[in-house]
Structure 1
């Protein structure tokens, strides 16, 4: 029987999760398949068009693709997740899913498709370099690499620099009139406004996902009721840290390191042995503040559609 590409409704998500657990070759990805699928296929649909495509043969789900339009630029379509059952690889399943996704995204107005994360709801920045078959497929189908991204890993086991005490630093900040505390759901409007005004407004959904959800949380620093910085974790999945930001006027005060380690301590107390700091920019900061190391590297790809240049 030929492979059929179908639309997947939310009732099929348990089957999608099970497929991803088998298809994602890296253990850390397979272990978090449920959180990844929920973030991409369910939560992301709240603020952007989302494609949920399945490849079916003889009634069995053998491949899945989740795609979306960029919330920031509707000309950009994203492939957020592509997984094919191990026994069905090299049979054109991934190509068939991508072909349909490209046509559907073009129909929604996209002029380019990116094999790259679509913040604030993304699984990975791009294709982990260890997924060699995926890299080969991207190149074979006309995608070209235009960026590289990376995650850093913070060790959360005993004695790790990530778990250094913040008490002395918090006392020093208190002497300057700065209070550091756990953020509460009631803080969300002020935090979102601070993030929009200071960093351009890309983190509203991630902050909302970090406040008031099991396995997630945030901390903030303030002076006289004015927010000076925040750090959050668990929005995409419990083991991921971010986003975080410090007001330019407060940079160099030590606020960032305190907020980071308070979040990492929460994650350690939840039983996590390590935290992923996703799509990192300031590598030296995380290395110095938490002993984090670059561990996952991702290639990001793009392809013009409909003859666009």
Structure 2
């Protein structure tokens, strides 16, 4: 580690400086543009339900690097590095490695036995390291991380009226209504039923993402129900306005077209809000999103894992 680099915990008042650093450091324009929302989600909002630590690397008084890490909510033995940003003029000078080494020791002190360079849902920036961020991949390998998964995002093009992602849903909604299924926008009063449905049907921890989508500016959620029973939902904007998800349909309702209707209702909302390319994050069912919205795989991520030693 470079002795000239001083690592210190960052307080909330340093968030604007971290945002500006991310705007310079994130090479992909879409990432740089959404730096304020990313930092807010990872640092401010995530801290409400899990331990979060923000670290800054300084050369003298200059902030040259930043890292945000956290402990997994369901399993405190797992730590996550959620964001690393290094000033472009300081790359290959040990800043990223110093921050990661410091984070490993800090997470070990919080009880973590291993560290993932992977998103920590429900508040995450990206599933892992975008394959185009070559310096980050090199740093992970140099520090002994091993790749254990690959993930991807899909993109739905909302930039033109004839996009498959914006296909009308009125006819499908009328057909569903004939089967007793109603589709509508969800409101805050629906949150308990939505959360219960998500937990019982899919497990996981979608409660916070739903709470971050329903009734919040720049976000939203649509649901399908029959006789007051939730059959499916689709949400967007929980972490940032351009991202779609989560969504889910009851197994008994699969194949009815509910999922495609809910998806495109959300995408139309995002288009109306000025989003021209919606990111469907950490995708599982690729054929569904391709068929329902013409979405395509566009971003691929490597996810890394490292077991911590007693010395750390």
When the two structures are superposed, what TM-score results if normalisation uses the length of structure 1? 0.98
Aligned equivalent of 2:156, options 142, 149, 154: 154
Show the counterpart of 1:54.
Answer: 56
Q: Could you say which residue in structure 1 is the equivalent of 2:34? A: 32
Find the counterpart in structure 2 of residue 258 from structure 1: 261
Aligned to 1:98: 100
Deviations 1:141-166 (A, max 9, x none): 10000000000000002210000000
Question: How far apart are 1:224 and its partner, in Å?
Answer: 0.4
Map 1:25-174 to 2 at 5 A. Answer: 25-157=27-159, 158-174=161-177
SS in 2 for 1:209: helix
* Superposed CA offset, 1:177-227 (max 9, x none): 000000011111111111111110410000000012111000000000000
Structure 1 residues 224-260: Cα deviation after superposition (integer angstroms, max 9, x where no partner): 0000000000000000000000011111110000000
State the match for 1:11 in structure 2: 13
| Paired residues, number | 308
The counterpart of 2:206, out of the listed 203, 206, 223, is 203
Following the alignment from structure 1 to structure 2, what is the Cα–Cα distance between the partners of residues 113 and 231? 31
Indicate which of 237, 261, 286 corresponds to 1:234: 237
> What is the CA–CA distance in structure 1 between the aligned matches of 2:62 and 2:189, rounded to whole Å?
45
Report runs of 4+ in structure 1 exceeding 4 Å deviation.
none
Asked if residue 220 in structure 1 is aligned to residue 223 in structure 2, the reply is: yes
Distance 1:189 1:11 in 2: 34
Counterpart position of 2:299:
296
Structure 1 distance, partners of 2:132, 2:44, is 27
* Structure 2: gaps spanning 5 or more residues: none
**Using the alignment, how far apart are the partners of 1:177 and 1:163 within structure 2?**
24
Secondary structure of the corresponding residue to residue 252 of structure 1: coil
* SS in structure 1 of the partner of residue 260 of structure 2: helix
RMSD: 1.0
Shift of residue 307, structure 1, vs aligned partner = 5.6
TM-score when normalising by structure 2: 0.97
Distance apart, 1:135 and its partner CA: 0.4
Q: Write out per-residue CA displacement over residues 251-308 of structure 1, whole angstroms, 9 at most, x where no aligned residue.
A: 1110000000000000011111110000000000000000000000000000000169
Q: Secondary structure at the match of 1:17?
A: helix
Where 2:240 maps in the other structure, the secondary structure is coil
Matches of 1:18 and 1:212, distance apart in 2: 29
Partner Cα separation in structure 2 for residue 72 and residue 118 of structure 1? 10
Distance 2:108 2:215 in 1: 37
Which SS does the other structure have where 1:103 is aligned?
A: helix
Provide the secondary structure at the position in 2 that maps to 1:213: coil
